[in-house]
Structure 1
Amino acid sequence: MTGVDSVRIEAAVAELLLAIGEDPSRPGLETTPRRFAEAYGEFFSGVGADPLAHLAEAIPLESEGGAPAQPVLLKGIAFRSMCEHHLLPFTGTASVAYLPGDHVVGLGKIPRVIDTLASRPQVQERLTEQIADAMEEGLAPRGVLVVLDAVHGCVTTRGVRQVGSSTVTVTGRGALAEPAARAELMALIAMGPVTGSGPSPDAGDA
């Protein structure tokens, strides 16, 4: 488990179980600390990782007649992250659009960027900005648009327990910074997926 001290996590979980009045050695809980450490290794695998590494193999773009390239939109990208306030998960979908400059990237690289940034203690607002930052720095596009729609465990399972609510965050950069400029892309995102259940994380990596 790279970057995660599983021994410390297991000890902390055993102490937590004791703190709530449970017996961490009883059947049903005896392997919980180990399983918890394994899960946290996945949830926080993006800590210290560089999302720009996924954009390093950008493809030079040759536009016919020198005309600016048309927008690229990848929508319905499933993601999960952990809210840094309560360490409860939030899950949802991301849509990322960009206006290519001189380069494009394999479609499978964009979900990898999102997964790297989401696999950290996060808040949705910052995650949205970080995805846009990575796209902007890694590809130098003419514009970037990022939309996240997520359901938060800290809202659905505690406090007000609003099980039917989701949170939408939007950020735009460059030529897609203004709402009017991105209206067409927002309409396409709102239409939902055309077929199937969304792109494979490995799509376009060839």
Structure 2
Amino acid sequence: MAVDRERVAALVRELLGAIGEDPERPGLRLTPQRVADAYAEFFAGVGEDAAAPLAHTISVSRGPAPDTLPSGAVLLRGIRFRSVCEHHLLPFRGHAHVAYLPGEHVVGLGSLPRVVEILASRPQVQERLGEQIADTIAGSLDTRGVLVVLDAVHECVTMRGGQQADASTVTIAARGELAEPAARAELIALMTLGQGPAAAREAAGS
């Protein structure tokens, strides 16, 4: 479902008036349309099928080494994402680290960032975003386990309230075999390499 830019622009003009500003002054005259264009980008994932990028898989059992199946996880670190917190409509941004234990099929690595992008391009909370990414991958791929770690900075924490400019939030979502902390310990170490011990401890669930 496409964002109604005309309606968003009209509401932004009303909002500017509600805070005591003049939406017709030169500096604000184009702001409603600019905000509408930005929202069309920020919320492009509303109504979009997050599983669609995972529809095309690659068989590893019929590849150049047909007797070889993956023995370990597929891990993609450092996927940049940005989203908008549904509580204050302020942005949060960070990195997603995604791993899964494949069966006989894998997916192109470029598909995983697309899943993150679609689900992040909605009004969100970080905790739910990680769970949705994990559910989408677990439900769409031949996988024995999924692990998603998100590390993000929230403007509702850095700009208001306690204004903790250096605070970041780490969340974890796990499915299948990787739901056990011991089973995901090696992946957590790889995901949080260079992130510091605090992030590693929180992601590992210790």
Aligned length: 192
Tell me the secondary structure at the aligned position of residue 22 of structure 1: coil
5+ long unaligned stretches in structure 2:
196-206
Structure-2 separation of matches of 1:11 and 1:67? 56
Tell me if 1:150 matches 2:156. Answer: no
Helix, strand or coil for the counterpart of 2:51?
helix
Structure 1 vs Structure 2: percent identity of aligned residues? 64
CA distance in 2, matches of 1:175, 1:84: 31
Give the residue type in structure 2 aligned to 1:148: L
TM-score normalized by the length of structure 1: 0.90
Report the AA paired with residue 49 of structure 2: D
Partner of 1:178: 180
Matched with 1:7 is 6
Structure 1 residue 190: Cα displacement: 1.3
CA-to-aligned-CA distance 1:59-114 (integer Å, 9 cap, x gap): 11217546553211000000000000000000000000011012111111100000
Distance 2:25 2:150 in 1: 41
Partner-residue secondary structure (3-state), 1:91: strand
What SS does the corresponding residue of 1:151 show, helix, strand or coil? Answer: strand
Q: What's 1:196 paired with? A: none
Rounded Cα–Cα distance in structure 2 between residues aligned with 1:103 and 1:66: 12
* Separation in 1, partners of 2:50, 2:58: 17
Contact kept, 8 Å, 1:76 with 1:192, in 2: the verdict is no
8 Å CA contact 1:69, 1:101 repeated in 2: no
User: Which secondary structure state, in structure 1, belongs to the residue aligned with residue 84 of structure 2?
Assistant: strand
Secondary structure at the counterpart of residue 88 of structure 2: coil
Using the alignment, how far apart are the partners of 1:58 and 1:118 within structure 2? 23
Q: Determine the structure 1 residue equivalent to 2:137.
A: 135
- TM-score, normalising length from structure 2? 0.90
Q: Which runs of 4+ in 1 moved over 3 A?
A: 63-69
Letter in 2 for 1:82: V
Q: CA RMSD in A?
A: 1.4
